[in-house]
Structure 1
Amino acid sequence: MKGLKKISILLIIFFIVLTTVLISFASKSDAAEDELDLKLEAAILIDADSGIVLFEKNADVVLGIASMSKMMTEYMVLEAIDQKKISWDQPVEINEYVHKLSAAPGLSNVGLTQGEAYTVKELYEAMAIFSGNAATVALAELIGGTEKNFVEMMNKKAEELGLKDYKFVNSSGLNNSSLLGNHPAGGPDEENVMSARATAKLAYRLLKDYPKVLDTASQPRLEFRDGRTYDNFNFMLPGLVYGYEGVDGLKTGSTDFAGYGFTATAKRGNQRFISVVMKADTRDMRFTETTKILDYAFNNFKNEIVVEKNYQLKSKDSVPVTKGKEDQVEIQTVDEIILPIKKGEEDQYVPKLVLDKGKLDEKGNLTAPIKEGDRVGYLTIQTKSNEPISYLTSEDENLVKVDVVAAEDVEKANWFVLVLSGIRGFFGAFLNNVSTSVKGLF
């Protein structure tokens, strides 16, 4: 009976401890998500230079993205221009379908006249500034031959860019039911979907690969050939309703299915951030919530030099050398490492040296001759607690790695020195074995 009582008490204690741990874990998770008290379904904040994720909420939940889809169309237009497949001044004649779509009620559009030619630049600006849906379709047909082909290209490009959790069924982000009986892919009522993380990754690659996208995205108004002025739907551009210092892109989106979303980017000084908000309840809420996220970014994170150029790790400032005139060679970094560090956490990051094993012998020595500047490995950053740093992509880890090289020449020793060194090594080992054997006798 006493044994059963002990087991019962131990089980009760175990479940109390387990419950406490689970409640604590849940509280920490809730605190992390509720830190900004965001009133929307999903969000993410990343550093635009390093791809480090600074905040996230439901970032892997797949949701509608509406016109934020146009970032992919923008990417593919800019890529086609870069590859000289099309040009900015190339004329695009408007067909009957695109004309009718441009006049469809309730959709964001600039009017496009059937049979009239518009330049790629005009259509691109209508898409990027005023989210023109018909202009988007015209560009899709130009690049893909048909919008159906273009949508296949969009999904393929998403895979190439390393996106996950996505599906494109049209080029514009509208619900297929709004396309006047046409639906390039998917069902008649489907829409494009992505996660906040995938959307952020698309924006990140768009800015990295084609930074000139901001030349158009930052324009608060479109002056079109019809003589009308159209305000950019990004109301956080300076001069518009929710003007925010540093905002210069990137794309809004809204449908009944997707709610209100916004991919923003802002730069102040040497800091640039990208934020994504998804499924806000109102048009204004997507901007107020983005303001919270960007305020959090600029108020709490600062780019810090965590490793200086020519930095030498105190515990490993040199590497042993064999067959050289010197038995050590000093090593140092070739460049600095800059990271967005949260205020108060400056001392939480430490450098980690990784030597290139392919250049070391079995004893961990480099072999002379060695030239100043020869790469011997790399230096990266890790947290003191060994908690992983969250990157948007695995490739971004390379952005916080810097090469470590020899800081000086080490010439190969001549044959006489090598012979003496060999003799010294032999007798050293011999005497050491003799000494060990003698000690063993006593």
Structure 2
Amino acid sequence: MLPLFRRSLLAAIVAAGLGLDNVASAQSIDTSARQAIITDFDTGTVMMEKNADELMVPSSMSKLMTVFMVFEKVKSGAWKPDDALPVSETAWKRHYKSDGSMMFLPVNSTATVDELLKGVVIQSGNDACSVLAEAHSGSEEAFAEAMTRRARQIGLTRSTFRNASGWPEPDHMMTARDLSVLARHLIADFPDYYPLFSQMEFVFNGIRQGNRNPLLYGTPGADGLKTGHTQAAGFGLTASIKRGDRRIVMVLNGLGSMQQRADESRRLAEWAFREWDRYPLFRAGEVVIPDAPVWMGEARTVSLVAKSDLAVTLPRRARADMKVSVVFNGPIPSPVKAGTEIGKVVVTAPGLSPLEMPLVAAADVARLGFGGRLAETIRSFFSGS
């Protein structure tokens, strides 16, 4: 049996989660929100959570899935921003007598895709959602089914949509974790369109309306995404804040008022940036072990390199007790193919679940021929290796 090699690496520094959902086993803050989750955008580390997998009424935060569907349509070229879409009587009647938020689209008029997106994101217009849904799938009901299917494909494991706007309907449900995943997709997949979420106001049909995201008004780095409110759900917010090279994504729901939503979201954002930080360890392709031994190879060693950029998000107080080691079975039997996973970096710290990141061979190592293997066997015998 090949021996297990373990090497200490840069004790008391940090490594990364490769986008894994790394969860601290203890968190030092609570929230008055019924559901909450705060994650680091780059590493996926969960800095705090509360009932994050509990099904909840997402209210207008579910409009983010409508926006995702439209962004995909535009990115594919199927829709252009200046395409005019019809405002049907069906879409108009669905909302014109409601007390929900509106873009105030006249019946039998048209609006461009760009205008409708602004109406959804900035004005939270329920009528704009219905117009986009009908143009996309023929009816809002068909669009909701398409939303649910696509949501499963991108990792929203528990979300079910019954309409495009988040208007209260039975079974129209999401989780805070699903909203966090969706927010990360919107930021990562649509960098050209994402700035729409930080636009402060929009004027349509002579009516000026401001963005309802409270963090855009005075919280440094806030640039998205969407508020929500219904009587059943309370007040919610899916938010993104970027400061320097760090971005956090936060989802809160079930708060008691607009003011509480504003205060609590600011408090938690400041806590996340103050108490946590992201620490890089290795760049993709950077050598971690330069001389991992190879058995019966034309080269006696091979370098092990980081498969991807490695960084970890940690409580600042945990950094001093971080321990990093490399584990692999060695000597590594030849032949070795470049890119093959050979070992792993193991990162431990008090209060955190251990993190593991793969290491791969940096180069091919061919197997020795018969004569070379015989010579190596004799050499090993007499050297006692």
**TM-score band, normalised by shorter chain:** 0.7 to 0.9
Identity, in percent, stands at 29
Matched, 1:45 2:45: no
Matched, 1:249 2:242: no
Q: Helix, strand or coil: the match of 2:215?
A: coil
Shift of 1:388: 2.6
Matched, 1:312 2:288: yes
Q: 1:149 aligns with which of 118, 137, 142?
A: 142
Matched, 1:277 2:252: yes
Does the CA-based 8 Å contact 2:122-2:210 persist in structure 1?
Answer: yes
TM-score normalised by the chain length of structure 2: 0.83
Q: Helix, strand or coil: the match of 1:99?
A: helix
Partner of 1:290: 265
Q: What's the CA shift string for 1:112-150, capped at 9, x where partnerless?
A: 122222111111110011100000011011111111111
> Could you say which structure has the higher helix fraction?
1
Q: Helix, strand or coil: the match of 1:170?
A: coil
Supply the distance in 1 between the matched residues of 2:44 and 2:150 (Cα, whole angstroms): 20
Does the CA-based 8 Å contact 1:280-1:286 persist in structure 2?
Answer: yes
Q: 1:365 aligns with which of 332, 342, 348?
A: 332
Does the CA-based 8 Å contact 1:170-1:191 persist in structure 2?
Answer: no
Letter aligned with residue 332 of structure 2? N
Q: Helix, strand or coil: the match of 2:91?
A: helix
Partner of 2:318: 345
Does the CA-based 8 Å contact 1:45-1:56 persist in structure 2?
Answer: yes
Shift of 1:349: 3.8
Supply the distance in 1 between the matched residues of 2:128 and 2:48 (Cα, whole angstroms): 35
Does the CA-based 8 Å contact 1:353-1:378 persist in structure 2?
Answer: yes
> Could you say which structure has the higher strand fraction?
2
Partner of 1:234: 213
Q: What's the CA shift string for 1:78-101, capped at 9, x where partnerless?
A: 112222332222111111122334
Q: What's the CA shift string for 1:364-392, capped at 9, x where partnerless?
A: 43325x68x65453544432469536xxx
TM-score normalised by the chain length of structure 1: 0.73
Q: What RMSD, in angstroms, separates the aligned Cα atoms of the two structures?
A: 3.0
Does the CA-based 8 Å contact 1:377-1:404 persist in structure 2?
Answer: yes
Supply the distance in 2 between the matched residues of 1:99 and 1:255 (Cα, whole angstroms): 21
Q: What's the CA shift string for 1:306-353, capped at 9, x where partnerless?
A: 34663435xxx5332233454333434365411222112114444454
Q: What's the CA shift string for 1:232-259, capped at 9, x where partnerless?
A: 111221xx3xx21100000000011111
* Residue pairs, 1:161-172, within 5 angstroms: 161-172=154-165
Partner of 1:4: none
What stretches of structure 2 of length at least 5 have no aligned partner? 1-24
What stretches of structure 1 of length at least 5 have no aligned partner? 1-30, 177-189, 358-362, 390-396, 433-442
Does the CA-based 8 Å contact 2:334-2:365 persist in structure 1?
Answer: no
Matched, 1:383 2:362: no
Q: Which has the larger radius of gyration?
A: 1
Q: Helix, strand or coil: the match of 2:186?
A: helix
Supply the distance in 2 between the matched residues of 1:139 and 1:216 (Cα, whole angstroms): 17
Does the CA-based 8 Å contact 1:99-1:111 persist in structure 2?
Answer: no
Partner of 1:194: 174
Q: 2:188 aligns with which of 197, 208, 224?
A: 208
Specify which structure has the bigger relative contact order, considering alpha-carbon pairs within 8 angstroms and separated by 6 or more residues.
Answer: 2
Partner of 1:187: none
Shift of 1:420: 2.9
Say how many residue pairs are matched.
360
